Amino acid sequence: MNNSNQTWYRDWVFWMVTGMILIISVLHYSTTLTEAVFHDIYRRLYYIPIIIAAFRYQLVGGVGASVIISLIYLPHLISHWGISPEQGLNKLLELVLYNVVGILSGVLVTNQEKERQRYEDTANQLDQSLQELQAQSKRLIEMEENLRVADRLAVLGELTASLAHEVRNPLGSITGSAKLLANDELEPEEKEEVAEILMKEAERMNQVVENYLSAARTEPKSRQKFQLNEVLTSVQRLLAEKTRKRNITFSMRLPNQPVNLTMDRNHLYQILINLLLNAIDAMPEGGTISLSATTNSGKLQLIVEDQGKGIPQEEVANVWNTFYTTKQEGTGLGLPIVKRIVEEYEGQISLESELDKGTKVTIIMPQE
């Protein structure tokens, strides 16, 4: 029962229905029995408060109004029965119809209200589900970003050893140059030459550190315009010591003309470093890693191919699943995050592999 039913005595509809019943009943009893036409009209008017009560108070209202009207109308029916049994029977049927209409109207309105309530509950549940899905989506995005950070840190950890080697060379040159500058026997021209070497080596060391830091930055995606060769050269330097120790050589095939890209430079670092580290780890006995880049119709195609252990054909589909890895100390984050980055730029990535023959990863991305 709704609130309007619980406080029916305060409702204006209740008083309107009550007033209509009283007015129609007064008209009935104040009109002589010979005025049959008026009595027929008054009988029909009783349906109005019955239907109004049913719409307002559902089954309770419809039945209640019809029963009250029946009780009020019953003395009038009995008085007519003595005059004309035929008219009395007709009015008895009318009285039965009051109750039938009251019941049917009440049932229909009650069912309609139940359906309305059901739809309203469903709408509320859908709204609640939508809010929960939005909250879950937000949490998934946050988790994805955390995974990216974890992946970048994992990559940095793997590159720490080669960073030490990269820094040692320019640092040795800087130390030697500083010792020479401390020697008062050098001519001004020689000092100038040594100072120039010192500056170049310092700049080279700064560039090495900057390249490593680029792989760990966590700023939101920002698009910059740069050349592909710049990033490839930096990545090759980063991995030079690791490839040297593994007896691995790079084979790069690039377009003759400079390839300009507009994207987050750090994202391209992350893509290439992950793919090349996977290729290096797949070739413990050495070999060649091929990296080619071609452009066509405003799109860049990057292919990284190794001669490593490969992946069983039945396992290839799993490489995009988070935490799936074929490496003993792998995290299973690299390829899923690479795929997510590529798709953020509306690109495509695919992987082909054959056991004991190698793996080929192809990326197609818009240049602008």
pLDDT in tens, the chain (368 residues): 444 444 555 678 888 888 888 998 888 788 877 777 887 788 888 888 888 888 888 888 888 888 888 888 888 777 766 666 666 677 788 888 888 888 888 888 888 888 888 888 888 888 888 888 888 888 888 887 777 767 666 666 655 655 565 566 567 667 766 776 776 676 777 777 767 767 766 766 775 666 556 555 555 556 788 888 888 887 887 777 778 888 888 888 888 888 888 888 878 887 888 888 888 888 888 899 999 999 888 888 999 999 888 888 888 888 887 666 766 656 566 788 788 888 888 899 999 988 888 899 999 998 86
Alpha helices, DSSP H, located in 182-306: 188-214, 228-238, 240-245, 265-281
Query: Model's pTM, two decimal places?
Result: 0.47
**Helix, strand or coil for residue 155?**
helix
Length of the chain: 368
> Residue 365, class by beta-carbon neighbours within 10 Å (0-12 exposed, 13-18 middle, 19+ buried)?
buried
Q: How many other CB atoms sit within 10 Å of the CB of residue 10?
A: 9
Buried b (16+ CB within 10 A) or exposed e, 112-132: eeeeeeeeeeeeeeeeeeeee
User: What confidence score (pLDDT) does residue 75 get?
Assistant: 80
**Helix, strand or coil for residue 296?**
strand
User: What confidence score (pLDDT) does residue 362 get?
Assistant: 94
User: What confidence score (pLDDT) does residue 4 get?
Assistant: 45
Consecutive H or E run containing 52 = helix 47-83
User: What confidence score (pLDDT) does residue 363 get?
Assistant: 93
User: What confidence score (pLDDT) does residue 337 get?
Assistant: 76
Q: Which of 40, 42, 16, 15 is nearest to 27 (CA)?
A: 42
Q: How far apart are CA 347 and CA 340, in angstroms?
A: 10
